[in-house]
Structure 1
Amino acid sequence: MMRCLLDVDWSTLVERSQVLGEARRRAEKQTGEPKIYLANVTDEVDRLIEQHDIAVSNGANALLINALPVGLSAVRMLARHTKVPLIGHFPFIAAFSRMEKYGIHSKVMTKLQRLAGLDSIIMPGFGSRMMTPEEEVQENIAECLQDFGHIRRSLPVPGGSDSALTLETVYRKVGSVDFGFVPGRGVFGHPMGPKAGAASIRQAWSAIKEGISLERYAAGHPELQAMIDGAQGKK
Structure 2
Amino acid sequence: MPIHDPTRIYATYFIETAYPLAEAATTMAGEQSTGTFLRVPGETDELRERFAARVESIAEKEPAQTASLPGSGTPKNWDGKRHTAEVTLSWPLHNIGPSLPNLLATVAGNLSELKPFSGLKLLDITLPPAFLTQYQGPQFGVAGTRKLTGVFNRPIIGTIIKPSIGQTPEATAQQVKTLAEAGIDFIKDDELQSDGPHCPFNTRVTAVIEVLNNHAARTGKRVMYAANITGDLDQMLSRLAHIEANHGTCAMVSMNSIGLPVMKIIRQHSHVAIHGHRNGWGMIGRSPAAGMSFVAFQKLWRLAGIDHTHVNGLRNKFCEPDGSVIASARACLTPMFPAPNKGCEVMPVFSSGQSARQAPDTYKALGTTDLIYACGGGIMGHPQGVAAGVMSLHQAWEAAAQNIPLSVYAETHRELKAALDLFGA
TM-score scaled by structure 1? Answer: 0.88
- C-alpha RMSD of matched pairs (Å): 2.3
Report percent identity of matched pairs.
26
Higher relative contact order (CA closer than 8 Å, sequence separation 6+)? 2
| 1:50 aligned onto 2:244 | no
| 1:169 aligned onto 2:361 | yes
Judge which range, 30-39 or 161-170, deviates more.
Answer: 30-39
Which secondary structure state, in structure 1, belongs to the residue aligned with residue 372 of structure 2?
A: coil
CA distance in 1, matches of 2:291, 2:256: 14
> Cα gap change, 1:207/1:176 in structure 2, threshold over 3 Å: closer, same or farther?
same
Partner of 2:225: 37
Partner of 1:132: 320
The answer to whether the 8 A contact 2:256-2:281 is kept is yes
Judge which range, 98-107 or 159-168, deviates more.
Answer: 98-107
The answer to whether the 8 A contact 1:161-1:184 is kept is yes
Letter of the aligned partner of 2:422 in structure 1?
G
> Cα gap change, 1:216/1:43 in structure 2, threshold over 3 Å: closer, same or farther?
same
The answer to whether the 8 A contact 2:299-2:336 is kept is no
The answer to whether the 8 A contact 2:313-2:354 is kept is no
More strand by share: 2
Q: List per-residue Cα deviations over 1:106-151 (Å, max 9, x = no partner).
A: 2221111111111111122322422113332233223212221224
Partner of 1:208: 400
CA distance in 1, matches of 2:312, 2:423: 22
Partner of 1:156: 348
Q: How many angstroms does 1:91 deviate by?
A: 0.6
The answer to whether the 8 A contact 1:79-1:117 is kept is yes
Partner of 1:8: 196
CA distance in 1, matches of 2:357, 2:322: 18
CA distance in 2, matches of 1:142, 1:4: 28
> Cα gap change, 1:190/1:35 in structure 2, threshold over 3 Å: closer, same or farther?
same
CA distance in 2, matches of 1:34, 1:145: 24
CA distance in 1, matches of 2:377, 2:260: 29
Which secondary structure state, in structure 2, belongs to the residue aligned with residue 130 of structure 1?
A: coil
The answer to whether the 8 A contact 1:90-1:124 is kept is no
CA distance in 2, matches of 1:69, 1:162: 25
Structure 1 residue aligned with 2:409, among 214, 217, 220? 217
The answer to whether the 8 A contact 1:115-1:151 is kept is no
| 1:118 aligned onto 2:306 | yes
> Cα gap change, 1:217/1:32 in structure 2, threshold over 3 Å: closer, same or farther?
farther
Q: How many angstroms does 1:211 deviate by?
A: 4.1
> Cα gap change, 1:200/1:27 in structure 2, threshold over 3 Å: closer, same or farther?
farther
CA distance in 1, matches of 2:222, 2:234: 32
Q: Aligned pair count?
A: 231
Partner of 2:389: 197
Q: How many angstroms does 1:174 deviate by?
A: 1.0
CA distance in 1, matches of 2:386, 2:261: 36
| 1:74 aligned onto 2:266 | no
The answer to whether the 8 A contact 1:37-1:59 is kept is no
Letter of the aligned partner of 2:262 in structure 1?
A
CA distance in 2, matches of 1:128, 1:38: 22
- Gap regions ≥5 residues in structure 1: none
CA distance in 2, matches of 1:33, 1:216: 31
More helix by share: 1
> Cα gap change, 1:194/1:125 in structure 2, threshold over 3 Å: closer, same or farther?
same
Partner of 1:21: 209
TM-score scaled by structure 2? Answer: 0.50
Q: How many angstroms does 1:193 deviate by?
A: 2.7
> Cα gap change, 1:135/1:207 in structure 2, threshold over 3 Å: closer, same or farther?
closer
CA distance in 2, matches of 1:42, 1:172: 35
Q: How many angstroms does 1:66 deviate by?
A: 0.9
> Cα gap change, 1:113/1:187 in structure 2, threshold over 3 Å: closer, same or farther?
same
> Cα gap change, 1:128/1:14 in structure 2, threshold over 3 Å: closer, same or farther?
closer
CA distance in 2, matches of 1:170, 1:52: 33
Structure 2 residue aligned with 1:186, among 378, 388, 391? 378
The answer to whether the 8 A contact 1:159-1:182 is kept is yes
CA distance in 1, matches of 2:410, 2:218: 25
- Gap regions ≥5 residues in structure 2: 1-190
Which secondary structure state, in structure 2, belongs to the residue aligned with residue 181 of structure 1?
A: strand
Letter of the aligned partner of 2:416 in structure 1?
L
The answer to whether the 8 A contact 1:13-1:55 is kept is no
